Structure 1
Amino acid sequence: MKRAFPWHIAVFLAPAFLIYTAFSALPLLDTLRLGFFTTHDSGHQTFVGLANYIKLLTDPDWSAGFWNAMNNNIKFFLIVMFVQNPIALLLAALLSMHGVRGAKGYQTLIFLPTLLSVVIIGFIWQLILSPLWGVSEKLMGFVGLADYFQPWLGDESSALITLSLISVWQFVGVPMMLIYASLIAIPDEIIEAARIEGASSWHIFWTIRLPLILPTLGLVTILTFVGNFNAFDLIYAVKGAIAGPNYSTDLLGTFFYRTFFGYQSQIGSPTMGAAVATTMFLIILSGVGVYFYFIQRKLQRFAF
């Protein structure tokens, strides 16, 4: 007997499908298309193939800015990756232990900055770190470290690191909650059996709990990668579109903004902006593909 098509499922999926298509899929496809064109002064667009991408990667007027933003983005990702995620793992492990008083309150406090606007976060940290009216120098003076205070956001060598650590402070709650949920999902019988065998808490964590949450750690890693290679709002809120000082905090997101919309004396170019956006998409897609092909497959084999 032939089964009827479940129309009720199609009805419920239709709104989400239409919204996703209209606001995500079609703009993405149009961006990919626009990257193969150039716009003349008259507004007429001409197909130029890969010329925009060749110009972006090889023309000194474009490639210097692109590769600077690319290098800064890699540094930004690595700092967040190797600071934020270990801290999140440590916090999740501590909060998931039995008998921790006020664990829910700590989780709320750590996760709270994630809910705040990035503009507010950027403004607050500018006030805190300002050498003119900030409170950081005075707070460091209370512990005898006032001599080590520097205008970290105004120094080319430290501005990107400072913004990376601000991002860590704001978003560490997200990987913490993901790892925490994974840790508390481990059956208590496994932990109790290990304790009966005489295993210490440290040994249980490294040999039992950590291997069991490796898929979650992999998910946190790829989410960190995608989020940081899409980063824009924090840099824009603190340093503006120019990503100063001297483009030392320029990421692919701010480079795309200036290319597409223009800024100060730089004239915007939608076609070159589309080429930058497509390049960002391909970088993120390549990173996700590498993760799923090489890492996720190993994690799945390990789980079985």
Structure 2
Amino acid sequence: MSDTDMTDTEIVPVKRPARWHILVFLAPAFLVYTAVMILPLIETLRLSLFNMVVGQLAFVGFNNFRVLFSDPRLSADFWNALGNNVIFFIIHMLVQNPVGIAIAAMLSAPNLRFAAFYRSAIFVPTLLSFVIVGFIWKLILSPIWGIAPGMMDWVGLKWAFAPWLGKPETALVTVSLISVWQYVGIPMMLIYAALLNIPDEVLEAAECDGITGWSQFWKIKLPLILPSIGIVSVLTFVGNFNAFDLIYTVQGALAGPNGSTDILGTLLYRTFFGFQNQMGDRSMGATIAAVMFLIILAGVSLYLFVIQRRMRRYQF
């Protein structure tokens, strides 16, 4: 065959059949997610730009945000809730995640006996209802009928017991530690899975160099699981700034005492739906929800576009 014949021959590309079945299988999940998540989010952001004027819902632009940050009562409640939310998040970052990482490192030890039992026992509280967890801990810590005073008396520490949930100085820390107890199993399992995915060749090479035990964890394993730790941190951030249920169960909608455990979620609930003598304000509630969304969006974006890029060099 000559070059001319080869040039004249047309190469017909092979067309792949359209994979419409993928869209068919994704459609139900997409529709449900859109109806439950996307549309309510859009409606919330839209409602934050409207308010009742002479009995009619009217567009007011960013006036609701100006009122939220300038009104003495609203701004005081908002900044108090935001400050408590930041403390709530910091306690989880400094206690829950390090404890979860340490437990995962110990459970990944090859010679540990009953590792499956320990994993199950630590993860079970995450499966419990927040209502059950809240009422159980209220009963445990009650100074009247709780078992905490008696248990501390057995070990000679009854003098250190106090009504921690009833004191403004300790209520937020106590509720945060209850949340840590319930959800420490999530970072433990995620980090445990990341540790199991480290190639055996890397660990064998480290052992050949004499790096074993905790030295191996700090020098070899920890840098390799940094991406997973970053994901855990983002999930902690999103979960803490969306928190509501446990504090509502333990301390009620007023998040007492004296608003010491009030966070953005409980403030949103009282503002939107009203509570006791306070009338609900849908527009201002949507404004607080929009601010919460922007805070979470900023935190997640910071991780995705700044922090994650610096950690990619540790990935395989």
Asked if these proteins are the same fold (TM beyond 0.5), I'd say yes
Equivalent position of 1:65 in the other structure: 77
Question: Cα deviation per residue 1:66-118 (whole Å; 9 max; x = unaligned)?
Answer: 00000000000000110000100110000000111100000000000000000
Aligned-pair distance for 1:202?
Answer: 2.1
Equivalent position of 1:49 in the other structure: 61
Matched, 1:12 2:25: yes
CA distance in 1, matches of 2:122, 2:275: 36
Question: Cα deviation per residue 1:239-290 (whole Å; 9 max; x = unaligned)?
Answer: 1110000000000000000010000111101111110000000000000011
Question: Cα deviation per residue 1:173-217 (whole Å; 9 max; x = unaligned)?
Answer: 000000000001112222122112222312211111111100000
Q: One-letter code of the match for 2:37? A: S
Superposed structure 1 runs of 4+ greater than 4 Å apart: none
- Structure 1 residue aligned with 2:211, among 199, 202, 211? 199
Aligned-pair distance for 1:292?
Answer: 1.1
Equivalent position of 2:242 in the other structure: 230
Q: One-letter code of the match for 2:251? A: K
Are the equivalent residues in 1 in contact too, given 2:224–2:314 (CA < 8 A)? Answer: no
Q: One-letter code of the match for 2:264? A: L
Q: Secondary structure in 2 aligned to 1:156?
A: coil
Matched, 1:139 2:139: no
Q: Secondary structure in 1 aligned to 2:162?
A: coil
- Structure 1 residue aligned with 2:47, among 11, 31, 34? 34
CA distance in 1, matches of 2:78, 2:112: 48
Aligned-pair distance for 1:231?
Answer: 0.4
Equivalent position of 1:23 in the other structure: 36
Q: One-letter code of the match for 2:34? A: T
Matched, 1:75 2:87: yes
Q: Secondary structure in 1 aligned to 2:80?
A: helix
Q: Secondary structure in 1 aligned to 2:111?
A: coil
Equivalent position of 1:124 in the other structure: 136
- Structure 1 residue aligned with 2:195, among 183, 197, 216? 183
Aligned-pair distance for 1:3?
Answer: 3.9
Equivalent position of 1:303 in the other structure: 315
CA distance in 2, matches of 1:200, 1:232: 43
- Structure 2 residue aligned with 1:174, among 178, 186, 201? 186
Aligned-pair distance for 1:40?
Answer: 4.3
Q: Secondary structure in 2 aligned to 1:167?
A: helix
Matched, 1:292 2:304: yes
Q: Name stretches of at least 5 consecutive residues in structure 1 with no aligned partner.
A: none
CA distance in 2, matches of 1:265, 1:232: 21
Are the equivalent residues in 1 in contact too, given 2:271–2:281 (CA < 8 A)? Answer: yes
Question: Cα deviation per residue 1:151-183 (whole Å; 9 max; x = unaligned)?
Answer: 000000000000000000000000000000000
CA distance in 2, matches of 1:58, 1:288: 27
CA distance in 1, matches of 2:35, 2:17: 29
Q: Name stretches of at least 5 consecutive residues in structure 2 with no aligned partner.
A: 1-13
CA distance in 2, matches of 1:187, 1:73: 39
Q: Secondary structure in 2 aligned to 1:45?
A: strand
Equivalent position of 2:232 in the other structure: 220
Matched, 1:210 2:222: yes
Q: One-letter code of the match for 1:300? A: R
TM superposition score normalised by structure 1: 0.97
Q: Secondary structure in 2 aligned to 1:73?
A: helix
Aligned-pair distance for 1:21?
Answer: 1.2
Q: One-letter code of the match for 1:25? A: I
Aligned-pair distance for 1:54?
Answer: 0.6
Question: Cα deviation per residue 1:209-248 (whole Å; 9 max; x = unaligned)?
Answer: 1111000000000000000000000000011110000000
TM superposition score normalised by structure 2: 0.94
Equivalent position of 2:10 in the other structure: none
CA distance in 2, matches of 1:244, 1:39: 30
Flag the structure with larger Rg: 2
Q: One-letter code of the match for 2:281? A: S
Matches within 5 A, 1:158-169: 158-169=170-181
Equivalent position of 1:259 in the other structure: 271
- Structure 2 residue aligned with 1:112, among 115, 120, 124? 124
Q: Secondary structure in 2 aligned to 1:266?
A: coil
